Structure 1
Amino acid sequence: MINPSVAFHVAPMETSHAEEICNWDYTAPYNIYGWMPWEQMQALGIEFGDPQLRNEQYVSILNGQGTLCGFAQLFPMEGVVRLGIGMHPDLCGQGLGKIFVDTIVQAALIRYPEHEIDLEVMTWNQRAIRTYQKCGFTITDTYERLTPTGNKPFYCMVYDK
């Protein structure tokens, strides 16, 4: 049973959050969403391992007790902000996705009020696709992208304000 008082909020991504996210262990097939070790991300200066990029594009999603529940990347492009979304593996499949994604969408709307909001999702990830559709996203395109395991099909989904 989902507690209707469950709420998430967005906060700047702290270094400790970034390090913790690198330790999350997703079960297959979702393990493709895992990150390399924190020390490696820092050494390479990629994604939230780069302090400037982490500050400019990444946010932590916390619950009411201040516990890290996930993260989002708000990647600005020309007229579009692309969302990258990650929920703590222990919370996935618990019915919290809509509240979680709605929180991220609201943060994107505040930060980029004039931008379209979109995201990419692997076509096999029906759990995420259903959540995104409940939040107002629509599939607008299908294409292949390079992943750590080769080219895979993706949907682009656009938020309907």
Structure 2
Amino acid sequence: METTTFNKVKEYEAVILSSWTYPSPYDFYNHAQTEDSKQEWLTGNYFCIYKQEEMIGFFCYGESARVPVNSSHLYIDDCIDIGIGMRPDLTGKGLGSSFLTTILMEIEVLFPSTPIRLTVASFNQRAIHLYEKLGFRIQHHFQRKSTNFYIMVRKK
């Protein structure tokens, strides 16, 4: 049986995570390789995900998982916000369901009986399909700069 572990992002992991590059149109999710970006990885609620001893992705929760937006009412109810990222070479291979299910189980341990919310770019139909398959439903939408986003919630 494969072992999955989670640990708070360390400095060397922040450098690795910032170097991940996704193909277009998912390059929208590439991170800047700046000191500010590294500090966000280290001071936010970011966790690396390892399967066996191989880093396969990350998740974050709380404020770290929210897309900054002027409409503060979008994030006021009592949900836990999550953000996820899978290592680029693993995406598009049918691994998303088990990847997200593993994260959801960890979040449910940390925040029992709290609805889970995530925000996704509307062009990312691959992710939206996965989220809907795992019980998330679109609750709101908004635009930030030139990108439309959906806020999706999974109730208990």
| TM-score normalised by length of structure 1 | 0.80
Query: What pairs with 1:68-147 in structure 2 (closer than 5 Å)?
Result: 68-75=55-62, 79-144=78-143, 146=144
- Compared CA separation, residues 7 and 132, structure 1 to 2 (3 A): farther
Counterpart in the other structure of 1:58: 46
Q: CA deviation at 1:38?
A: 4.6
Divergent runs of 4+, >4 A: none
2:5 pairs with 1:9: yes
Counterpart in the other structure of 2:67: none
| Percent of residue pairs identical | 31
Q: Which amino acid is the alignment partner of residue 54 of structure 2?
A: T
Greater strand share, 1 or 2? 1
Q: What CA distance in whole angstroms lies between the structure 2 residues aligned with 1:96 and 1:124?
A: 20
Q: CA deviation at 1:14?
A: 2.2
Q: Which amino acid is the alignment partner of residue 24 of structure 2?
A: A
1:64-119 Cα shifts (integer Å, max 9, x gaps)? 2x111110111167622111111110000010000111111111111111422100
Match for residue 154 of structure 2 among 134, 147, 159: 159
User: 5+ residue gaps in structure 2?
Assistant: 64-75
Count of aligned residue pairs for this structure pair: 144
8 A Cα contact 1:70 1:86, kept in partner = yes
Bigger shift: residues 111-120 or 9-18: 9-18
8 A Cα contact 2:80 2:114, kept in partner = yes
8 A Cα contact 2:48 2:55, kept in partner = yes
Q: Which amino acid is the alignment partner of residue 13 of structure 1?
A: V
1:40-74 Cα shifts (integer Å, max 9, x gaps)? 524xx4x21xx332xxx11111112x111110111
Q: CA deviation at 1:123?
A: 1.1
Match for residue 37 of structure 1 among 10, 33, 36: 33
